[in-house]
Amino acid sequence: LKSIAVMTSGGDSPGMNACARAVVRTALYEGVEVWGINNGYHGLLDEDMFKMERKDVGDIIQRGGTFLGTARCKRWEKPEGRMQGYKNLVDRGIQGLVVIGGDGSLRGASLLSKETGIPIVGLPGTIDNDVWGSDYTIGCDTAANTIIDAINKLRDTASAHRRCIVLEVMGHRCGWLAMTAGIAGGAEYILVPEEEYDLDAICADMAKAYKAGKRYILVVVAEGAGSGQEIGKYIAEHTNIDTRVSVLGHIQRGGSPTVIDRVKASQLGEQAALAIISGLSDIVFGFNKGHVVSINLHDAVNNKKTLDPEYAHLARVLF
């Protein structure tokens, strides 16, 4: 192809900038025209896009968020919306699209490709690490590090007061963030949507541990596994343990990306640009055991990722 476009869509994640930068610079290196689309599918429908130069992606690799802006766009969920988006691309001579976003954004991309045949390459950009076929999504490492930073601080105050702290973290319907940050932060209990849990058994367990002299307990709850507030209230009512709840919220989305997120996002961006330039379509690039892999776009959006059972086992052993 001779002209491509790149956008970020859905929830932002640290490393999206590094990724878009790699797409742009790889395309320019290959002598291909590249457009940036502002604010995801919104910008595509509102014709908010511009031809990019090398310097347009300067000074952004270290920044969280996305310099292109991102959005959720209802109009894109209708076939007429997607057809308008396709027309806006064709009008500018844009022959292929790279979409950096979460599973919803990739679903929108999959439909555009099916309906119009325009070449599309997707890249998993979300802190949730919930894209099927890849064991990594752009931003998940920074978010996990943000969570363990919070856990370290919460441990100090929990220990000082002999409290139980319930920390609710993001992850949508996926427990990866809670599980990895929980393991890294040494949480006593990690509640994830992929695993059933028995709150009464946990309360009984906690009460026993307190009686035996335990100073504090940390419970990490994935947002998809329940409400931190409700779980905290339940623990407070069913044990004599002074319990506090912390909902980490959007702090998890921000921050300067870690080395891992910058490098992996750059690798994925490069591969996506090379693939789309050579005319490949309907693929998502991700990682599998440290290596870049390509995944069928439609498979990626039609399958649900499962949590590595080794994590849950490890969490139980280390508790």
Q: Give whichever of 126 and 243 is closer to ligand ATP, judged by the CB atom.
A: 126
Q: Is 73 in the site for ligand ATP (CB under 6 A)?
A: yes
Other CB atoms within a 10 A radius of the CB of residue 214 amount to: 15
Q: How far is the CB of 186 from ligand ATP (least distance, A)?
A: 27
Please identify which residue in 46, 77, 135, 195 interacts with ligand ATP, judged by CB under 6 A.
Answer: 77
- For the chain, strand residue ranges (E) read 3-9, 33-37, 49-51, 96-101, 120-124, 164-169, 189-191, 217-222, 243-247, 283-288, 291-296
Q: How far is the CB of 78 from ligand ATP (least distance, A)?
A: 8
Q: Are 20 and 34 in contact (CB under 8 A)?
A: no
- CA nearest 169: which of 222, 129, 127? 222
Distance in angstroms between the alpha carbons of the first and the last residue of the chain:
53
Between CA 175 and CA 194 the distance in angstroms is: 7
Q: Catalytic one among 12, 56, 128, 282?
A: 128
- For 73-119, strand residue ranges (E) read 96-101
Q: Is 305 in the site for ligand ATP (CB under 6 A)?
A: no
Site string for ligand ATP, 195-234 (x = CB under 6 A): ----------------------------------------
Q: Is residue 128 flagged as an active site residue?
A: yes
Q: Give whichever of 56 and 168 is closer to ligand ATP, judged by the CB atom.
A: 168
Span interacting with ligand ATP, options 8-16, 140-148, 152-160, 204-212, rule CB under 6 A: 8-16
Token code pair at residue 208:
């026993």
Please identify which residue in 35, 41, 216, 285 interacts with ligand ATP, judged by CB under 6 A.
Answer: 41
Contacts of 58 (CB under 8 A, 6+ apart): none
Q: How far is the CB of 297 from ligand ATP (least distance, A)?
A: 13
Site residues (CB under 6 A) for ligand ATP? 9-11, 41, 72-73, 76-77, 101-105, 107-108, 111, 126, 128, 172
Task: Detail the residues annotated as belonging to a binding site for Mg(2+).
Answer: 103
